[in-house]
Amino acid sequence: MDAPQLAIEVTGLAKHFGKTRAVNGIDLRVRAGSVYGLLGPNGAGKTTTVRMLATLIPPDSGNAHVLGLDVATQAAEVRQRISLTGQFASVDEDLTGRENLRLLARLLGFHGRSGKARAQQLLDAFDLSDAADKQVKDYSGGMRRRLDIASSLIVPPELLFLDEPTTGLDPRSRNQVWDIVRSLAQAGTTVLLTTQYLEEADQLAERIAVIDHGRVIAEGTPAELKRSVGSGVLRLRLVTPDDRPAAHQWLEQQLGSSVTLEAEPTSLSIQLSDTGRAASLLSGLSNLGIALASFSMDQPSLDEVFLALTGHHTEPAEEALTP
């Protein structure tokens, strides 16, 4: 097989809608067989990028090769080798899960018995057999997502686009989707995933590109990225709000200026460059006689990543209005 080393190779990709520069010169290199994360807020240009790479809309300028094929001139060949699971469930809500799969199977050349068999195989693998003959509009968010991903695997693609696969899902369903993505990666499928959650990109992706206003503002492995933005956030909740000024003062002395007072009067959050410091900070507070109601160690939120990388918070872009 003459599999190219790069599943996606993009230079200077751009697309604007009216005055909005949705994608403003993006470069990407995605290794074949890897999971790659596009991380960014609503309207950053993630979906537009995916739609160009999946041949749904033509780029205004720039070069994009998918599986070695030019998306502008070889779109038909590209479509035979990719699958797209869009941001909004790309399944037919009026039909049943089984009918959805059989419909798509027929479009791909599985007729009669072979189509039925493939649909059943997918329903089983995605734990949807019990709901197979219910209309999709009665599915839960998690089931809908699983059907959506199953619909992309009727013919296993070499490259799968997953546009915000877990947005709006409960934690249990999100974990199921994560397991699915990991299994697909193990099977050798290249996955391009967009997400608003650093944690998700960290869990799944080999490399991450952070996108803001249609540009890549940072690129690297999750570890590299976290090194540049701090490895985590320690969130504290005190028993009484009266202790907060003292706690705030002491923590700032220890760390510098990376302590944030939350709106809630007993809460503080602390950016840590080294998670190992959390324990010493907690015991330090306890030595001062400041009682903690709870504490947790979280990854930085997207907003905190943006603050660290760009100096500004995530802001809703115009594109968010017309996805």
Chain residues in the site for other proteins (CB under 8 A): 17, 51, 54-57, 76, 79-80, 82-96, 99, 103-104, 106-111, 114, 121-122, 124-127, 135, 151-153, 155-156, 161, 171, 174-175, 179-180, 182-184, 186-189, 199, 203, 235, 237, 267, 294-299
Which class for 307: exposed (0-12), middle (13-18), buried (19 or more C-beta within 10 A)?
Answer: middle
For residue 18, how far is the Cα from the chain centroid?
Answer: 27
Nearer to other proteins, 166 or 314 (CB): 166
CA distance 213 to 250: 38
- Whichever of 7 and 91 has its CB closer to other proteins, that residue is 91
| Cβ closest to other proteins, residue 93 vs residue 253 | 93
Tell me the closest approach of the beta carbon of residue 138 to other proteins, in angstroms. Answer: 11
Q: Which is nearer to other proteins, 10 or 52 (CB)?
A: 52
Strand ranges (E), the chain: 6-17, 20-31, 35-39, 61-66, 69-70, 82-85, 159-163, 190-195, 207-212, 215-220, 232-238, 259-261, 267-272, 292-298
In angstroms, what is the minimal distance from the CB of 9 to other proteins? 19
Closer CB to other proteins, residue 106 or residue 310?
Answer: 106
Q: Which is nearer to other proteins, 199 or 219 (CB)?
A: 199
Bridge partners, 26 (sequence order): 13
3-state secondary structure of 305: helix
Instruction: Please give the Cα distance from 72 to 55 (Å, whole number).
Output: 8
| Residue 32 C-beta: closest distance to other proteins, Å | 15
The Cα-based distances of 5 to 8, 13, 29, 65, 233 in angstroms read: 9, 20, 10, 12, 37
* Shortest Å distance, C-beta 179 to other proteins: 6
- Considering the complex, what minimum distance in angstroms separates the CB of residue 239 from other proteins? 13
**Residue 47 or 314 with smaller CB distance to other proteins:** 47
Query: Nearest approach, Cβ of 311 to other proteins (angstroms)?
Result: 25
Shortest Å distance, C-beta 41 to other proteins: 18
Q: Where are any strands of DSSP class E within 112-206?
A: 159-163, 190-195
Minimum Å gap between C-beta 55 and other proteins is 7
The number of angstroms, rounded, from the C-alpha of 126 to the middle of its chain's C-alpha atoms is: 20
| Least Å from the CB of residue 24 to other proteins | 17
The two tokens of residue 168 are 């709006």
Residue closer to other proteins (CB basis): 51 or 215: 51
Which is nearer to other proteins, 183 or 253 (by Cβ)? 183
Cα–Cα distance measured from residue 271 to residue 135, given in angstroms and rounded to the nearest whole number: 46
Is residue 69 left, alpha or beta, with left meaning phi > 0 and alpha meaning psi from -120 to 50? Answer: beta
Query: Is the alpha carbon torsion for 112, 115, 117, 120 positive or negative?
Result: negative
Alpha-carbon distance of 263 to 268, in angstroms, equals 9
